[in-house]
Amino acid sequence: MFEVRLAPVGLDRLAQLLASERARRLEAAALRAQEQLRGRVVWNVNATATGGGVAEMLQVLVAYGRGAGVDTRWLVLDGDPEFFTITKRLHNFLHGSSGDEGSLDDRARSHYEQVLARNLDELLQRVHPQDIVILHDPQTAGLVPGLVAAGAHVAWRCHIGRDTANELHDLGWAFLRPYIMAAHAFIFSRREYVPAWVRDDLVWVVPPSLDPFSAKNADLDPEVVSTTLHVAGLVSTSSPTSVTEFDRRREGHGRVRHRDSLIIDGPPVPGDARVVLQVSRWDRLKDMEGVLRGFADNLSGLPDDAHLVLAGPDVTGVTDDPEGGEVLASCLELRVSMDTSIRRRIHLTALPMDDVDENAHLVNALQRHASVVVQKSLVEGFGLTVTEPMWKSRPVVASAVGGIQDQIDHGVNGLLLDDPYDLDGMVKGVDTLLRDPETAQQLGERAHRTVLDRFLGDRHLLQYGELFASMIE
Ligand code: UDP
């Protein structure tokens, strides 16, 4: 187990974007929380420091919590490959999908418990009775009973779920139920994800949020975008800004190393191409392969300058996602089997994970460069990869599943695909937006407004403040 140490970030940074009444509410809540939580630590425990939406949010919320004067910390648990295979299975089950086809049998339970028992020992050396602990996702569920017994106030937060139950989903919950029942509070991203047996008065529905100032979302001027992508070998621009000029301009926007190319197997995207982008972990449920297939099969109907970029992490870095390598390999195989004329318009990237800021800056630049962003998830807890391009006023075509439905209103601030398996529908949506830039721009502008109104950190922090107050009263 290790601690991710983050410097405090003052709430005034966020407040400058908010209308004055909203900014005042945030400031008042921070003062209240400071008072109420004096002498206690608010701990967050999850399974990874990088990669995925939970790590993304903790980077920001922990820093703001500290900036608000609350001793907020973040610990990452230790596990071995077998543990992460089991927890990935649990993750898939809660999404209603079988993943690696393995089961959650007694052997799996016993290994899960052994790994968490070791983590609990370490945790109890740091956590004091009366501290607040937020445990994130199935990987941490088994820590609930031990922490409750030690006198901590424990909330279990589940970032995943599916809108309707199925057999696998029920099996996943049956595995977790004995551990989480003792929690003092439960946090879900959507009401639909709450199992019927969780006490209603302990449930908090808290959708995720994004930070407009993080390396992932900060404003970038168009030249920084284009040179960033050029320097990383992702896009070939004919007249890139000189590297010295680039180094000067990107100051404060995260580092980007000069690389031959981050494209796996293939040329960079031509500078004058219009990019259709999906950014995701290499997870079957994000269906990168489906996006690739749909794009390739319908390429002749799309404008000639449309290129697909599938951007995901360099999977060697994500220790809690054993499936990643397999999914990336099958996307590569599929691409290689295609005709050259198709292949040259499809680009797979492996974004470096060893430097969080660099990764975030690259995703930021890619999202800003994209003409259309796709998120064709088969199921989705919330989908920050939808919120992020929406903040950047990009038009998004995404499946109407999970939390994506809370973000996109079809035809108003993006396009929704009713059937997440409908490849033709996905391409039709992309095609419409590429051929009608005016509509695309309108959808993008309204998308930005949606995020400003509903998915920034102040709403998230206010909800946390209320939750903590209720837990310690
Ligand atoms: N992400 C990233 N680099 C990648 C792939 C994903 O930084 O190569 C980020 C992405 O920008 C988003 C998060 O990981 O912030 C994914 O969150 P989301 O809620 O979309 O899905 P999750 O991965 O949590 O299922």
The rounded average pLDDT for each run of 10 residues, N- to C-terminus, in the chain (473 residues) is 97 95 96 96 95 88 96 97 94 86 92 98 97 98 98 97 89 97 97 95 96 94 91 77 56 64 84 96 95 96 97 75 85 94 94 85 97 97 96 98 97 98 97 98 98 96 97 91
Q: Is 217 helix (H, G, I), strand (E, B) or coil?
A: coil
Tell me which of 189, 217, 281, 327 to substitute to probe ligand 1's pocket, judged by most ligand atoms within 8 Å of the beta carbon: 281
Find the 280 Cα to ligand 1 centroid distance in Å: 6
Instruction: Give the pLDDT score at 246.
Output: 56
Structure tokens at 456: 């920034």
Tokens 């219009």 correspond to 274
Find the 64 Cα to ligand 1 centroid distance in Å: 20
Question: What is the full DSSP assignment across 236-293?
Answer: E-SSPPPHHHHHHHTTTS------S-SEESSPPEETTPEEEEEE--S-GGG-HHHHHH
Find the 229 Cα to ligand 1 centroid distance in Å: 19
Tokens 């009263």 correspond to 473
What's the rounded Cα separation, in Å, for the pair 311 and 280? 6
Find the 376 Cα to ligand 1 centroid distance in Å: 14
Q: Counting every residue, how long is the chain?
A: 473
Question: Which residue has its alpha carbon closest to ligand 1 atom 10?
Answer: 385
> 170, 177 in Cβ contact below 8 A?
no
Find the 129 Cα to ligand 1 centroid distance in Å: 34
ipTM: 0.99
What's the rounded Cα separation, in Å, for the pair 364 and 149? 43
> 292, 310 in Cβ contact below 8 A?
yes
Q: Which of 61, 28, 50 shows the shortest CA–CA distance to 281? A: 50
Q: Residue type at 285?
A: L
Structure tokens at 88: 């990935």
Where b means 16+ CB within 10 Å and e means fewer, 26-54 reads beebbeebeeebeebbbbbbbbbbbbbbb
Instruction: Give the pLDDT score at 444.
Output: 98
Q: Is 135 helix (H, G, I), strand (E, B) or coil?
A: strand
Burial class for 462, CB neighbours closer than 10 Å (0-12, 13-18, 19+): middle
Instruction: Give the pLDDT score at 249.
Output: 56
Q: Residue 125 — φ and ψ, nearest 5°? A: -75, -20
Find the 70 Cα to ligand 1 centroid distance in Å: 27
Question: What is the full DSSP assignment across 355-424?
Answer: -HHHHHHHHHHHHHH-SEEEE--SS-SS-HHHHHHHHTT--EEEES-TTHHHH--BTTTBEEESSTT-HH
Ligand 1 pocket, CB under 6 A? 52-53, 56, 216, 279-281, 311-313, 351, 359-360, 363, 381-385, 388
What is the atom index within ligand 1 of the atom nearest the CA of 216? 11
